[in-house]
């Protein structure tokens, strides 16, 4: 079990406080493991295991607790038998009807420390957070970064060359469970297919009561094929029309939003860097895990430039950057990243194989006059930094602790 210190560092200050700790992210990205890591820390600090109340709502043994009243009564009963503070670990809480009323009541009535996980971004929609207003902290958990993947993969195959590890990461992505099947090709592909179907069925179709599953599948296929490419709902509507499906752009936007709510996709807005405004159309989308893309649709090596972009984008999110696509004149910067008043620009390329490519990738920064760090990252082994713009090999970039 990897310690996932990046997340523990953020969660640790809140352990033992009365704020509700909420962990969200795509199904099977390791949220349950985070609960186990928190339990480990509590045990090491002298808390007794008898003080833990753990319920996973995907386990049918707990299906009778999927209403706020039943869950409240069960936890209240079990907490009464605990000597001292109760520690509640509630996994996939969205399966419980009106869960937020139950959690808020427990927070008020019990001496307890509450940790919950869920696979839907709407878990803390404005309507729900009314009950918990200001009394929770949220941590989004992502599939493994390249650094985490490397640590785990090297523990299975210690002698494998560094470049080969990255090749594996390009194909398999960062879903934690794959380590249990030793990243073997056929089982890994089967697992990722199953995961994709599970997200689609449980977190998108069932949750949003979607009837037209064929349409949803076509929209998902289109978005996955076009990760990192700007497109509009209108252009997707025209594409579907060519496939004999007439669909309103609003319906398409709703379906894509359901996918984003299930953390299958992330939307990145475009920003006009001169006018300092967010543009209202032609967003980009990236997939939560590029391994799912390879298993379900294939083509990661064919679309390697887009997949590298996807990997860098997720790494920026892991490090808590707010990311937009930057437009400056007729040029676009892949990622404009902000965190606590600091800025960072990142341009992603596959290989800087010709003078034209070098000019294009470095030239996007021509009109940017500020002194914030500007990067071009690619798979090239040689450092091509110039004019104050830093060039990094993408593997090294992903493993750097700090970008400055």
175 Cα distance to chain centroid: 11
The rounded distance, in Å, linking the Cα atoms of 329 and 208 is 40
Report yes or no: 90 and 57 within 8 Å, Cβ to Cβ. Answer: yes
Residue 392's pLDDT band (cuts 50, 70, 90): very high
Q: Which of 310, 303, 169, 195 is nearest to 187 (CA)?
A: 195
Q: Please give the angle made by the CA atoms of 380, 381 and 383, to the nearest 5 degrees.
A: 90
Percent of the chain with pLDDT over 70: 99
Q: Would you give the DSSP letter of residue 346?
A: E
pLDDT tens per residue, range 285-313: 999 999 999 999 999 999 999 999 999 99
The rounded distance, in Å, linking the Cα atoms of 326 and 13 is 34
Token pair listed for 364: 């996007």
Look at residue 127 in the predicted model and tell me its pLDDT: 58
Look at residue 126 in the predicted model and tell me its pLDDT: 58
* pTM assigned to the model: 0.95
pLDDT value at 328 more than 80: yes
Q: Region 377-382: what's the mean pLDDT?
A: 97
Q: Region 363-370: what's the mean pLDDT?
A: 94
Average pLDDT, rounded, for the chain: 94
Neighbour-count burial for 139-151, b at 16+ CB within 10 Å, e otherwise: bbbbbbbbebbbe
pLDDT tens per residue, range 68-110: 999 999 999 999 999 999 999 999 999 999 999 999 999 999 9
Strands 284-287 and 112-118, sheet pairing:
unpaired
Report yes or no: 293 and 224 within 8 Å, Cβ to Cβ. Answer: yes
Look at residue 128 in the predicted model and tell me its pLDDT: 65
Residues 6+ apart with CB under 8 A from 336: 271, 273, 323, 324, 325, 326, 343, 344, 345
The rounded distance, in Å, linking the Cα atoms of 184 and 131 is 45
């Amino acid at each position: 079990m990897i310690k996932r210190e990046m997340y523990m560092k953020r969660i640790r200050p809140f352990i033992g406080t009365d704020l509700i700790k909420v962990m969200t992210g795509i199904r099977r990205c390791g949220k349950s493991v985070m609960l186990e890591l928190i339990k480990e820390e509590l045990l090491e600090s002298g808390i007794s295991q008898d003080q833990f109340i753990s319920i996973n709502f995907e386990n049918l043994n707990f299906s009778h607790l999927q209403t706020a009243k039943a869950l409240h009564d069960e936890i209240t009963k079990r907490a009464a038998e605990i000597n001292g503070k109760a520690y509640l670990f509630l996994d996939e809480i969205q399966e419980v009807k009106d869960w937020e009323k139950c959690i808020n009541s427990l927070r008020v009535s019990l001496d307890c420390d509450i940790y919950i996980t869920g696979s839907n971004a709407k878990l803390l929609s404005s309507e729900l957070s009314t009950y918990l207003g200001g009394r929770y902290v949220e941590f989004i958990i992502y599939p493994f970064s390249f650094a985490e993947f490397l640590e785990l993969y090297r523990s299975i195959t210690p002698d494998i060359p560094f470049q080969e590890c990255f090749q594996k990461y390009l194909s398999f992505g960062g879903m934690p469970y794959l380590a249990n099947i030793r990243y073997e090709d056929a089982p890994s592909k089967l697992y990722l297919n199953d995961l994709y179907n599970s997200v689609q069925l449980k977190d998108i179709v069932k949750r949003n009561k979607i009837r037209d599953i064929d349409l949803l599948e076509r929209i998902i296929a289109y978005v996955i094929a076009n990760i990192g490419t700007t497109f509009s709902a209108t252009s997707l509507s025209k594409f579907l029309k060519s496939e004999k499906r007439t669909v309103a752009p609003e319906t398409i936007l709703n379906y894509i939003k359901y996918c984003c709510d299930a953390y299958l996709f992330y939307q990145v807005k475009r920003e006009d860097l001169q006018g300092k405004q967010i543009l209202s159309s032609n967003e980009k989308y990236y997939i939560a895990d590029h391994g799912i893309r390879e298993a379900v649709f294939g083509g990661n090596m064919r679309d390697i430039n887009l997949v590298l972009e996807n990997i860098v984008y997720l790494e920026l999110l892991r490090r808590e950057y707010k990311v937009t696509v930057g437009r400056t004149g007729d040029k676009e910067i892949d990622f404009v990243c902000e965190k606590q008043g600091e800025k960072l620009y990142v341009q992603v390329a596959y290989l800087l194989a010709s003078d034209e490519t070098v000019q294009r990738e470095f030239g996007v920064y021509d009109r940017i006059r500020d002194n914030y760090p500007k990067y071009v990252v690619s798979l090239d082994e040689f450092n091509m930094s110039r004019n104050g713009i830093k060039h990094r090999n993408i593997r090294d970039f992903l493993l750097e602790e700090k970008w400055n």
